[in-house]
Structure 1
Amino acid sequence: MTDTQFCAKISREREDPIIGQAAYAKAWLLIEYNGPWEWGAVLDNQLPEAVKAWLSAIIYSYATTHTVALFIRHDMRPLAKIRCFVAITREAQEALYRFELSSYEELLKLDLDALRAGDPAYNTYLSPEPIYLVCTNGKHDKCCAKFGMPIYQEASRLVGEQAWHCTHMGGDQYAANLLCLPRGLYYSRVSVPEVTSIIEADGHREIYLPKARGRTCYQPAVQAAEYYLRQQTGNLHLDAFSLLATHSAETNVETVHLQATEDGTIHTLTIQHEIRELSSSQPCSCRNEAKNTRYEFRLLSYASSSAACSISP
């Protein structure tokens, strides 16, 4: 890849699908950090050593906690305090906690286990306003800055301090990426005119389907199934369906059962997962030319039945 090429442009021209590509996360730790953002900013920074060790432990415990840590900042006048958010993005547990800290060492007092469990002791920190994160970390990938900055600027114009720059959250090749919290809705290849549509949909607890990449409370195959179900039914309300069960008959095929909250109808979607090898001249990242695979989820079948029908593998 030459200096004038952008992996996001190549991916868009190649028509790589974005469905089912959102990071799977049950919680997000967001820390305001106005120092330099390096390639791996959350681990490579000037924070106190004890805080860096604490962050490292969180990052490396992802397999058991499914918690993602990011740095955030915005272009508004900085406050004397350090802003920190903890977003809970489970299907049945959605919350956004806001903290104002005098020092980064105060992060060590946060009980993330209690926050993930919804401990009422933290209820006074609950924030009623959503926030919107746009990845703009150009040191991680130049596409994040090139395509992310106009999206952040538009989001900031629309919602002010609810819009934040953030460090890498996955999907350089899908830039610009925008994450709505605490909904856990992930959008990719967002254009400036679409920012209004996404924020308005989020305010109505709806999904803006044209650029939906996935909902972070679900595993990738379920993200894809939800997308196809919304496409089939036209129902975009976030609370219209809930995950009932999944099972795999084959290595790359998963059957997903989602239930309508209004009438109990069970929607069954069979999803096929394919991994495709790409040419090394068309990488999925501007920095890593060895990364040359893409993932696709295809809908094999869809059916609906009454709640009285049983689910069988």
Structure 2
Amino acid sequence: MTVCSDVQGEPLAGSAKQGRAYVLFEWPGGWSRDVLDGKTFSKELTSALKRKLKEAGKGAGLQLIRRPGRAGRDVGQLHRCYLVWAEQEIMELVLLEDPEEILTLDLSGPGKNGAEVIDKPVLLVCTHGKRDLCCAVKGRPLAAELSEHFGEGLVWEASHMKGHRFAAVSLLMPWAYSFGRLNAEAGKQLVEAALKKEYFFPGNRGNGQLAPRAQVAELAVAQQLIDASETLHYGDLTVVDEDPKGKYHQPVEVTNVDGRSWRVELKKKEVSGVISSCGDKPKTSSVWVAARVIDA
């Protein structure tokens, strides 16, 4: 079997998991292939959770989490549940007795559940082996090493988060940036930068609040600034794409908090030999790449 994450011809930029709000629920028990397929939780609860997330809007999603290693298989009477609103850069923590209590939460925005505001970032590392072998093989050792290095609470194992072909993959909260192909050294640098809210470029797949074209454009500008030795923080860049499908070949507008702006011209590129999941046959995919960054 060909291991999908060993094939590295596809660019990372523009592949981030999209979403603006997240429920991160601690659940150490078995994760079925899709945690909302009715096999992790009961079919009745699964249906109710799907309705809850849909009603919340804002691209709300559920990630199951657990502490790395054997410790993660044991939870006391209360389960930790992080509520994330990426647009506001806010993450809160509530303690729940069971997954049914997720249905009682107000997911319309922060500050509505009597929750504790968390001022440190959280890195979720996908270790969802039932979804794809790569995430178990590459994600679990990474999560364990990062957790040992930083201590409990900053790094969690997590369920599928899109892009297992880029394993080890991760989601950085509260900003909802996706990363791929991380090793332990890069993972440590990523978390250290996140503790200072500094934008980390290596392995960055994009901002999950944005569509793929906008993700690529933001990363192109970020790379240019970081290459020029500028310090960039999450939230410094605002992206506007009036042509999200690229139908009219319009550039994407990127603006810095300091007032500078750029137009990023994009083009479609074909990438051959892409293996979307372990065991799949290679295929050709089309991706967006930045062709030129122009000062506006």
Does residue 1:70 correspond to 2:63, yes or no? yes
1:53 — aligned with what? Answer: 47
TM-score by length of 2: 0.88
Q: Deviation per CA, 1:213-238, whole angstroms, max 9, x where unpaired?
A: 11111111111111110122224322
Does residue 1:129 correspond to 2:120, yes or no? yes
| C-alpha distance 248-70 of structure 1, shift in aligned 2 (>3 A) | closer
1:43 — aligned with what? Answer: 37
Q: Give the structure with the larger helix fraction.
A: 1
Does residue 1:81 correspond to 2:78, yes or no? yes
Q: Deviation per CA, 1:69-112, whole angstroms, max 9, x where unpaired?
A: 1211114353320111111112xx11112110122222111121
Counterparts of 2:3 and 2:143 in 1: how far apart (Å)?
19
Q: CA deviation at 1:64?
A: 5.0
Counterparts of 2:114 and 2:239 in 1: how far apart (Å)?
27
Tell me the SS of whatever aligns to 1:122.
coil
Tell me the SS of whatever aligns to 2:242.
strand
Tell me the SS of whatever aligns to 1:197.
helix
1:17 — aligned with what? Answer: 11
Does residue 1:219 correspond to 2:250, yes or no? no
Counterparts of 1:275 and 1:31 in 2: how far apart (Å)?
38
Q: Deviation per CA, 1:46-76, whole angstroms, max 9, x where unpaired?
A: 53554222223256x3995311212111143
Q: CA deviation at 1:18?
A: 0.7
Counterparts of 1:211 and 1:250 in 2: how far apart (Å)?
25
CA contact (8 A) 2:49 2:103 kept: no
Which amino acid in the other structure matches residue 223 of structure 1?
Q
Tell me the SS of whatever aligns to 2:134.
helix
The counterpart of 2:260, out of the listed 260, 265, 272, is 265
TM-align CA RMSD: 2.4
1:205 — aligned with what? Answer: 197
1:239 — aligned with what? Answer: 235
Unmatched 5+ residue regions in structure 1?
306-313
Counterparts of 2:236 and 2:246 in 1: how far apart (Å)?
29
Q: Which moved more, 1:243-252 or 1:208-217?
A: 243-252
| C-alpha distance 177-82 of structure 1, shift in aligned 2 (>3 A) | same
Question: Which 4+ runs in 1 deviate beyond 6 A?
Answer: none
Identity in percent: 23
The counterpart of 1:149, out of the listed 133, 140, 153, is 140
Does residue 1:94 correspond to 2:121, yes or no? no
Q: CA deviation at 1:244?
A: 4.3
CA contact (8 A) 1:132 1:178 kept: yes
The counterpart of 2:168, out of the listed 161, 172, 176, is 176
| C-alpha distance 105-197 of structure 1, shift in aligned 2 (>3 A) | same
Counterparts of 2:213 and 2:56 in 1: how far apart (Å)?
18
1:164 — aligned with what? Answer: 156
1:274 — aligned with what? Answer: 269
Q: CA deviation at 1:171?
A: 0.6
CA contact (8 A) 2:27 2:65 kept: yes
Aligned residues: 287
Counterparts of 1:250 and 1:38 in 2: how far apart (Å)?
36
Q: Deviation per CA, 1:168-211, whole angstroms, max 9, x where unpaired?
A: 10011100001110021211000111111100111121222121
2:25 — aligned with what? Answer: 31
| C-alpha distance 272-94 of structure 1, shift in aligned 2 (>3 A) | same
The counterpart of 1:7, out of the listed 4, 8, 23, is 4
Counterparts of 1:147 and 1:106 in 2: how far apart (Å)?
32
